[in-house]
Structure 1
Amino acid sequence: MQSQASHVYASSEDATAAIARDSAYAELAATTQQPLQRVVYVVSQFPSWSETFIVREIATLIEVGVDVRILSLKRSGETMVQADAATLLDRVRQPLGPLPTLWNSLRVLFTHPVRIGGAVATVVADTWRTPAILAKSLATLVRSLSQIPWLQAFDPQFIHAHWSTYPTTAAWALARAMRRPFGFTCHAHDVFRNHHLLPRKIADAALAVTISRHNVGWLDRNISALAPRKLKVVHCGVDLRQISARTREPSGNRILGVGRLSPEKGFHTLIEALAILRDAGTPFLCTLVGEGPARQELRRLIDRHELRRYVELAGAQPQEYVRAALEQSTVFALPCQIAANGSRDGIPVALMEAMAAGCPVVSCPVSGVPELIGNEVHGLLAAERNAVSLAQALQRLLDDAPLRKRLAIAARQRIELEFDARKEALKLHDLMTRAVNHAA
């Protein structure tokens, strides 16, 4: 990319010569930079059915030559492993047993008493008012520090965590103990609700990342004045090599929703909107893919509105099922909302996948969703928690084929420009490389 300096020339300077000079400087800088070769990712558990975006990010880093290892703080209880995640299982370091965990942690404490003692004191000072978070944070320190012998053998240049809660607590502590730079990516609940130690993490991180401009503004107003300067926006994208835009319109009125069955997804509002469509005489079939704590409540709501003939709760399904469902669906609906406890989505990957597949989308202007969907441009945005508004948006799309086509084309272009997982992962690769070289 042409450097910013090349835009400011003396009037007599030849532009071609200036660009050539800038390119030479860029090549010289590249040759003197330390390449990014070894990175450790810290996650709550691996594999995780809903965190396909982490898998795509890691896969891209591996493609460009980075040796990535994954530290899982908990053993995964997932009964289904996505195919992409299965290819990374040999790179995962699972928690040790109780005795090795205790022994290794004590060895690390005696080897680095000041660094580890300082980390423990910082955690206690920040979380003592919430005993449950304090206990989990201390357990996270023990689990992560017990892995230091393995980490020293791997010798990571950079430690990166997804979610700014316990995974970043682990990455922060490991970075202190090993004198390595660390970074983290924060998303949604870890921004709006569970932000223990977050001001300290933002201050200490060599690289702080979030997934939307909305998050940067919220963190600036509520958590840390450093947010605008330190936080970089790297979107969680989709792999466009695996999702092709469909070439034909599906038959019938099929509505699809994909996501965790939890309040912030707004599926309760969707059920209410579907009842309105049914009462208006609109034929449709709706499939909701996902699992979560709201499943039984959604089932009761479906029964209350006598919608069993119209709505299927399909449970958790592999990526192949979701992609086939997108091919067959007329509309994709994910009416995001702010839950009663303040939880909300960042920018849902499920929306990106639907847009990439050419399935017209309906959502709500919550959190970072307007950064993904321009209303009437890339999809339709209904009023939050408003079943009538949502039903009207669904009805418009079901009735208007030209509108569906126009929105679908623009949505695919939107994903290609700003939410391509590979491009976003390469952006992160560049940021990590800069962080490593700045710390050297």
Structure 2
Amino acid sequence: MWPSEPGTAYVLKMYPRFSETFIVSEILAREAAGDRIEIFSLRPPRDPRFHAELARIQAPVTYIDRPLRTADLWEAFRAAETAGLTDALARNFAGLAAAEPDDAVQAINLATALSQRNIRHMHVHFASIATSVARLASAITGIPFSFTAHAVDIFHDSVRSEDLRIKLEQAHHAVTISSYNLRHLRRRFPASTSRLHLVRNGLELDRFPYRDPPPVRATVRVAAVGRLVEKKGFQHLLPAAAELVAQGFRLEVRIAGAGTLARELQDSLERLRLTDHIRLLGALTQDQIHELLRTSDVFVAPCVVAADGNADGMPTVLLEAMAAGVPCIGTAVTGLPEVVRDGHTGILASPGSPHALARAIQRICSAGTDRTAMARNARALIEHDYDARRQAQTLRALCQDQKKVP
């Protein structure tokens, strides 16, 4: 029996994913606004860690099978036939045949699952595998799709321009999370972005009560959070700390996160003799991150553009720190200058420069910096531009405007 209220499907590569808290906030906000959401995940979760906010999501989750054997392909066709999709598959056979095999079969399985639901629209995060599958499923079912483009799905060397162009043209609409991304995509695809919109990632602001920053401690506590990968820039934060320690600056740096650079960072802090000043905390839960922010004098997002073109679109934890009243330092990478406005909402440093990071930490802790005014400005910006409730209303309006179907 179909639900009486037409729903919106969120098609995600993997759900839940520990690092993608912005998707959780978005779904919660849309449910609070009255949307009926269903989640379709192309991969099962691999991380046993669990954010408490996930328990608040009402949306059911369906995991879409991937083909592991030849028999799985025939099972997919049989299920599609039972669902009455045979003619639609025949019409779209050329597109399915041109796709990656896994994507094509998962698109058939997704289309079959959607045919058994009352779904009026699909929305996808990241213009990569999940959007490839949703695009094919949309062609089979006639259900329109949209997607949010972030960063790795735009800037990474592996992104194929023709593939991204087709997705932009065939989507009901697309959104991206920063003005930087919007300008970049409009320059790159001038004929294919008439339905591209700016919708920033949102926060549940009630979960981040603001407080004025207290006076800086005698030993400055610096926090940094993110996956331990090149684009996060933690490899530049360590020598910045070494420079400050050599000058007699007292600080304690706490870096939360896990990733491929963990061993390299540990070796670096030992080589730089920073084990008394820097701790690698591993991955933390949301509650633990909130406590880390609450007990920090400075938050640093030392992002860089990686060698493969990968870049951070907008670190969610940077927005959280600004919302909570922690004075923040960011780097001039992609959309970060839109939130870290130098001297007004934070301190902006040159990316990839340990010396610039060291100077920024000194500056944000100096007597000449009005940390309270900076933190209040940051909170006001977050409230104006990053309220999940407003973003949910915008997304809902875009999805409901069926006149935009190309």
Query: Displacement, 1:300?
Result: 1.1
Greater CA deviation, 109-118 or 207-216?
109-118
CA distance 1:55–1:419, change in 2 (3 Å) = same
Q: TM-score, normalised by structure 2?
A: 0.91
* Equivalent runs, 1:45-64 vs 2, <5 Å: 45-64=14-33
Q: Of 152, 155, 169, which aligns to 1:203?
A: 169
Structure 1 residue 116 corresponds to structure 2 residue 96: no
Larger Rg: 1
**Residue-by-residue CA offset, 1:127-176 (whole Å, 9 max, x unaligned):** xxxxxxxxxx3212212321333211212100111000001001101110
**CA gap 1:348/1:115 in 2 versus in 1, 3 angstroms:** farther
CA contact (8 A) 1:290 1:316 kept: yes
Counterpart residue number, 2:382: 415
Provide the C-alpha distance between the structure 2 equivalents of 1:41 and 1:187, rounded to a whole number of angstroms: 16
1:56-111 CA-partner distances (Å, limit 9, x unpaired): 11111111221111111011101101111233386111133757853442233744
Structure 2 residue aligned with 1:375: 342
Distance in 2 (CA, whole Å) between partners of 1:377 and 1:112 is: 55
Deviations 1:229-256 (A, max 9, x none): 2210100121101001124516441000
Match of 2:199 in 1: 234
Q: Greater shift after overlay, 353-362 or 36-45?
A: 36-45
User: What is the one-letter code of the residue matched to 1:42?
Assistant: V
CA distance in 1, matches of 2:53, 2:72: 30
- Partner deviation per Cα, 1:34-54 (whole Å, 9 max, x = no partner): x98400011111010110111
**Equivalent position SS for 1:72:** strand
In 2: Cα distance, 1:166 partner to 1:385 partner: 30
Going by fraction, where is helix more abundant, 1 or 2? 1
| Distance apart, 1:401 and its partner CA | 7.6
What's the CA shift string for 1:18-48, capped at 9, x where partnerless? xxxxxxxxxxxxxxxxx98400011111010
Aligned-partner SS, 1:157: strand
Return the letter of the residue paired with 2:174: A
Instruction: Choose from 302, 310, 323 the match for 2:269.
Output: 302
Deviates more, 1:276-285 or 1:187-196: 187-196
Q: Which amino acid aligns with 2:122?
A: I
Aligned twin of 1:183: 146
RMSD: 2.1
Q: How does 1:23-172 map to 2 (within 5 A)?
A: 37-88=6-57, 91-96=60-65, 98=68, 101-107=72-78, 108=80, 110-123=86-99, 137-172=100-135
Question: What letter is aligned with 2:311?
Answer: R
Cα shift at 1:333: 0.4
Deviations 1:265-320 (A, max 9, x none): 11111111000111111111111111111111111111110111111111111110
CA distance in 1, matches of 2:90, 2:186: 32
* AA partner of residue 105 (structure 1): A
Quote how far apart the aligned CAs of 1:227 are.
4.8
CA contact (8 A) 1:101 1:146 kept: no
CA apart distance, 1:439: 4.2
Aligned length: 391
For 1:146, the aligned partner's letter is N
TM-score, scaled to structure 1: 0.84
Secondary structure of the residue aligned to 2:119 is coil
Instruction: Rate the CA distance shift 1:227–1:367 in 2: closer, same or farther, 3 A.
Output: farther
Q: Report the CA distance shift for 1:158/1:367 in structure 2 as closer, same or farther (over 3 A).
A: same
- Distance (Å, rounded) in 2 between the aligned partners of 1:228 and 1:144: 24
Match of 1:10 in 2: none
Letter in structure 2 aligned against 1:190: D
Query: In structure 2, what residue type is equivalent to 1:195?
Result: V
Residue aligned with 2:201, SS: coil
Deviation by residue 1:342-381 (Cα, 9 ceiling, x = unmatched): 1111121111011001001111111111111211111001
**Structure 1 pair 217–36 and aligned structure 2 pair: CA distance change class (3 A):** farther
How far apart in 1 are the matches of 2:235 and 2:192?
Answer: 34
Shift of 1:334: 0.8
Alignment-derived partner of residue 291 in structure 2: 324
The letter of the residue matching 1:140 is D
The answer as to whether partners of 1:237 and 1:419 remain within 8 angstroms in 2 is yes
Mapping of 1:217-296 within 5 angstroms?
Answer: 217-222=183-188, 224-247=189-212, 249=214, 251=217, 252-296=219-263
Task: Check the 8 A contact 2:346/2:374 in 1, yes or no.
Answer: yes
Contact 1:270 1:387 in 2 (8 A): yes
Q: Within 1, Cα distance between the matches of 2:397 and 2:59?
A: 25
Instruction: Determine the C-alpha separation between the residues in 2 that align with 1:101 and 1:60.
Output: 37
Report the Cα distance in structure 1 between the residues aligned to 2:221 and 2:368, rounded to whole angstroms: 13
Q: 1:401 to 1:327 in 2, by over 3 A?
A: farther
* Cα separation, 1, equivalents of 2:145 and 2:159: 18
| Aligned counterparts of 1:221 and 1:274: Cα–Cα separation in 2 | 38
User: Aligned partners of 1:163 and 1:147: how far apart in 2?
Assistant: 17
Structure 1 runs of 4+ aligned residues shifted over 6 Å read none
Aligned to 1:26: none
Q: Which amino acid aligns with 2:41?
A: S
Aligned residue for 1:184, secondary structure, equals strand
